Structure 1
Amino acid sequence: TMARLPKGVKYVDIPLQHSHSDVLKSMARPLHPEKVVERIRQLVPDVKIRSTFIVGFPGETEEQVQHLADFIAKHEFDRLGVFTYSKQTEVESGNMPNQVAERVKKARRKKIMSIQHEIAFKQNQKMVGRIIDVLIESYDDKKNLYVGRSQWDAPNIDNLVYVRDEEGNRCVLGDFSRVKITEAKPYDLYGEALEDLEPQTTISDLAMAST
């Protein structure tokens, strides 16, 4: 459906949880995450994928953590979160043997996030020079910049786009602005507001179009 709808956002949030088949079986999660990622990218060009993973699940080995690290490095997720397993005694996993020590969980999370930090910066650098639509949501008085999100950014968890409006009339809170990306950081983008040749699309316009 997403591939057939030109007005749909090209953003998929799919919690894969792990890459190693033995860990996924222990979690009772679907297998073959690699096929899922490849299929999404095949069907939806320019899609950005967010996923979440868990490290430190009972019985997880260093070899399995390395498998996850290699998987993430290979597929270069645009957005990614990593959580340490939290033991809950009222569920089956909380009573499994070979519980992983907290310090080991934290070290494994740090390892994965260091890989993702480099990937995120690399992916954001690809955006420099592109012209995208940004939903303007606030103004940062300290930076003297507008703050918004692109279609690839979920609220509160993904990138922010900081926008400079040199003309002073191209950014309006609650409206979309056409922005040229000029700088990339690992988790944020910076850009310049451009003069729109077409009327801006507002949130109310989108709501009316969907009814």
Structure 2
Amino acid sequence: MEQIEGLAWIRIMYAYPTYLTDKLIQTMAKSSKICRYLDLPLQHASDTVLRRMNRRGNRDDYLRLVEKLRQSIPGITLRTSFIVGFPGETEAEFQELLDFMSQVRFGRAGVFVYSCEEDTAAARMTGQVPEDIKNERWERAMELQREISLDNNRGKAGETVTVLVEGAKDGDIYEGRTESDAPGVDGKVFFKANRNVNCGDFVRVLIKDASWYDLNGELAE
């Protein structure tokens, strides 16, 4: 894929953390086309919850992996997903997740409420968490991630970034994505342009301000 002419960005999604090899990390680091972006579905950060989920990783493994990725690929954006309210999850275990999120400060994170599915191993577990507690934990985790995302995005003010144009939004306002934004799950860049730009163009945009998930700027060319 590296040799395909006209292919600018390659994005790796849903990279199961225990199968992420040093070879793949080094390939990403050396590539001129693989986006500095990785989706790592960690699901939780409490070792006891991860064992109940039958996940192979643990908190320390995840911390070492994040450190390795950030050292090997400077500027990489890490996305993850978490589940709150898994059967047996205690307040202390949930707090472990919040502490982990605060420590790692993922660029992108989705938080989902555990849904009991019939005829699954988790559905047969004791300690099913009440819906009101699951929803309250979801809101707390999302609020934390919104704060982290806003802080991360505001830190980009003054930077000039490459944006893949996706179309016009309103008048001279266009929208697009950076290599840090996957379609359908991440935010966008909204920018003002003093000339016409076309869908599919790559342009340079000066970031002026930000919201929780989106960046705002103006054409830098």
Quote the Cα distance in structure 1 between the aligned partners of 2:100 and 2:172: 39
SS at match of 2:101: helix
Residue 2 of structure 1 corresponds to which residue in structure 2? 28
Partner residue in 1 for 2:82: 53
Q: Give CA deviations for 1:126-167 in whole Å, capped at 9, x if unaligned.
A: 1111111101102112x75101000000001101000100x2
TM-score, normalized by length of structure 1?
0.88
Whether 2:192 is the aligned partner of 1:168: answer no
User: Which structure 2 residues correspond to residues 58-137 of structure 1 after superposition, within 5 A?
Assistant: 58-137=87-166
Q: Kindly indicate whether residue 157 of structure 2 is the aligned counterpart of residue 148 of structure 1.
A: no
DSSP 3-state at the match of 1:179: strand
Contact 2:84 2:138 in 1 (8 A): yes
User: Are 1:179 and 2:208 matched, yes or no?
Assistant: no
Structure 1 gap ranges (5+): 196-211
Residue 89 of structure 1: how far off its partner (Å): 2.1
- Corresponding pairs, count: 192
Q: How large is the Cα RMSD of the aligned pairs?
A: 1.1
State the 4+ residue runs in structure 1 displaced beyond 3 angstroms: none
Q: State the TM-score, normalized to the length of structure 2.
A: 0.84
Aligned position for 2:38: 12
Structure 1 residue 78: deviation in Å? 0.3
Q: Could you tell me how far 1:7 is from its partner in structure 2?
A: 2.8
Distance 2:55 2:38 in 1: 18
* Deviation sequence 1:161-204 (CA, Å, 0-9, x none): 00100x223x2211111111111111100111122xxxxxxxxx
Q: Kindly tell me: are residues 140 and 67 of structure 1, through their superposed partners in 2, closer, same or farther at Cα, counting changes over 3 Å?
A: same
2:167/2:198 contact within 8 Å kept? no
Q: Unaligned regions of 5+ residues in structure 2, if any?
A: 1-26
